[in-house]
Amino acid sequence: MVADYSEFGFEVPLDRTGLSTKKWEIEQINKNDPSVLCFSTAEMDFRAAPAIQNAINRVAQSGHFGYPHKRDSYFEAIVSHFDRNHGWTIDPTSIYSHVAIYPSMQPFIEELTAPGDEIVFQSPVHHCFEEVIRANGRTPLANPLVVRDGQYVMDLDGLADIVTERTKMLILCNPHNPVGRAWTRDELEALNTFCLGRGIFVLTDEVYFGLVRAGRKYTPFASLSEEAAMNSATLISASKSYNLTGTKHSLVIIDNPEHRKAFEASQKKTNLYFGGCMFGQAATEAALRGGDSWRCALMEYIDGNFVLLRDTLNEALPGITVYDSDATYFAWLDMRGLGVSDEQIIRILDEARIAVTYGKPLGPGGAGHIRFNLATARITLQAGLDRFVTAFEKHLNND
């Protein structure tokens, strides 16, 4: 599907009057500088798809904000979306909901592992992976991705070297944040075989499912086979693909009846199975039912932003490696070719009045890298790149 992105206003910088967000306003407050340009937090600088705005407006205009009920249309929208876009047939009875991706990890960690058990995460990856594991009294086990032929891949040989009898779970990120890989079917099959053979449960964060570039493919882990579906649970939300992080609604897909019981038992401890956010529920249904054209136009626009960043940096700062990306709205940059330390990168970008996500907190393999959010108007991106290039050229010339 090809759409004209101009109809959705991606080119026009968002009017931030009255907005208060972690991506922009908090960054500017923390730095005491309203001129800071923000390319860090994982949200977009775009208005939501018209179908979503209309759905939320209908809920608001009803004037009634009690406990919501999920109608058949809600489940039909989910099943239809993943069937037509990704060839994944989801059993409606396997669909549960939660408030967000990271909170929905906790029930599985609590119910399917014991204190002290090891849980694998594949770094560099969002810092919450390791934090959630550690906060639940489990042992984080880093299995860093490796770069082969200019592309990040999973290191299953390295994984075989580190797992023990206490390794009970692996948290997969697919598509991967921040490196942008949408793992191929063959890669996922190999991981599935490894985990099945060692009794390792796969908890898979697939929140970036919709942000796939043209010509690339997202393969849901649970779609591999019945064995993969029965040895995994899939965490999904419309939050990233449709810019709905503030509506606090996520999906948990569980095929295994025993894992469903475990999840339900954990939810009873907090009563999270009851009620929910009616705005998040309505927005999710609208996004998955009527947001395809907006999402395709979005990725076409992101493609253009990626090309602008890649070509700009390749010409002006060829010491930076810009990794190709299958998915997400990030550019993952290896800064080490400039001969700068992590501390210098932070200082230079602070002086340039630019906010990005630094790689070092994302675990082994993240040092010397940055994540640059491309989900912004091109004029804003160009202004940020101008500052970026000027700041690093000044540093390199001074040296």
Rounded to whole angstroms, the Cα distance separating 229 from 252 reads 12
Positions of E strands within 60-101: 95-98
Domain annotation covers residue 41: yes
Query: What's the whole-number mean pLDDT along residues 104-111?
Result: 96
Same domain for 220 and 114? Answer: yes
Asked whether residue 230 falls in the same domain as residue 269, the answer is yes
Strand order in the sheet with 369-373: 321-322, 330-334, 369-373, 357-358
Q: Is the same domain home to 272 and 311?
A: no
Query: Is 276 or 161 the better-scoring residue by pLDDT?
Result: 161
Amino acid at 399: D
Residues 71 and 137 in one domain: yes
Contact between 76 and 288 (Cβ < 8 Å): no
Domain-embedded: residue 170: yes
State whether 305 and 256 are in the same domain: no
Closest alpha carbon to 41 in 32, 52, 28 = 28
Q: How does strand 146-148 pair with strand 369-373?
A: unpaired
* pLDDT band with cut points at 50, 70 and 90 for residue 140: very high
Q: Would you say residue 58 lies in a domain? A: no
**Amino acid sitting at position 99:** V
Quick one: 213 and 69 in the same domain?
yes
Mean pLDDT of the chain: 96
Are 37 and 112 members of one domain? no
Q: Are 71 and 55 in contact (CB under 8 A)?
A: no
pLDDT at site 272: 80
The pLDDT value given to residue 399 = 65
User: What mean pLDDT comes out for the span 199-205?
Assistant: 98
CA distance 289 to 232: 26
Q: Report the C-alpha gap between 302 and 315 in whole angstroms.
A: 20
Residue 120 sits in a domain of what CATH number? 3.40.640.10
Q: Tell me which of 229, 258, 290 is where a domain ends.
A: 290
Side chain identity at residue 235, one-letter code: L
Q: What percentage of the chain reaches a pLDDT higher than 90?
A: 94
> Does residue 128 register a pLDDT over 60?
yes
| 230 lies in the same domain as 303 | no
- CA dist 75 and 78 (Å) reads 5
Number of domains observed in the structure of the chain: 2
Q: Dump strand ranges (E) for 271-384.
A: 321-322, 330-334, 354-355, 357-358, 369-373
pLDDT (tens digit, 9 = 90+) per residue, 156-190? 999 999 999 999 999 999 999 999 999 999 999 99
Picking from 273, 290, 307, the residue at the C-terminal end of a domain is 290
Which of 11-20, 291-300, 350-359 is predicted with the least confidence, judged by mean pLDDT? 11-20
pTM (2 d.p.): 0.95
User: What's the token pair of residue 150?
Assistant: 């200019």
Handedness of CA 272, 274, 277, 280 (dihedral sign): positive
The answer to whether position 57 is within a domain reads no
Coil vs helix vs strand at 160: helix
Report which of 135, 138, 190 is spatially closest to residue 169, judged by C-alpha positions: 138
223-262 pLDDT, tens per residue?
999 999 999 999 999 999 999 999 999 999 999 999 999 9
Note whether residue 314 is domain-resident. yes
Report yes or no on 171 lying in a domain.
Answer: yes
* DSSP conformation class of 254: E
Determine the pLDDT at residue 328: 98
Whether the CB-CB separation of 8 and 45 falls below 8 Å is answered with no
**Looking at 290, 310, 326, which one is the last position of a domain?**
290
Confidence of residue 1 (pLDDT cuts 50, 70, 90): very low
Residues 135 and 284 in one domain: yes
Domain membership of residue 229 as a residue range: 63-290
Residues 219 and 113 in one domain: yes
The answer to the question of residue 55 being in a domain is no
CATH number at 306 reads 3.90.1150.10
Do 242 and 132 reside in the same domain of the chain?
yes
Q: Which residue has the tokens 């449709």?
A: 242
Does residue 3 carry a pLDDT above 60? no
| 69 and 29 in a common domain | no
Given a cut of 60, whether residue 2 has pLDDT beyond it is no
Mean pLDDT calculated for residue range 324-340: 97
- Does position 151 have pLDDT exceeding 80, yes or no? yes
Q: Is the peptide bond before 257 cis (omega within 30 degrees of 0)?
A: no
Mean pLDDT calculated for residue range 372-399: 95
The residue-averaged pLDDT of 282-287 equals: 98
- Secondary-structure percent of the chain, ordered helix, strand, coil, rounded to 5: 45, 15, 40
Residue 391, in any domain of the structure: yes
pLDDT (tens digit per residue) in 24-51: 999 999 999 999 999 999 999 999 999 9
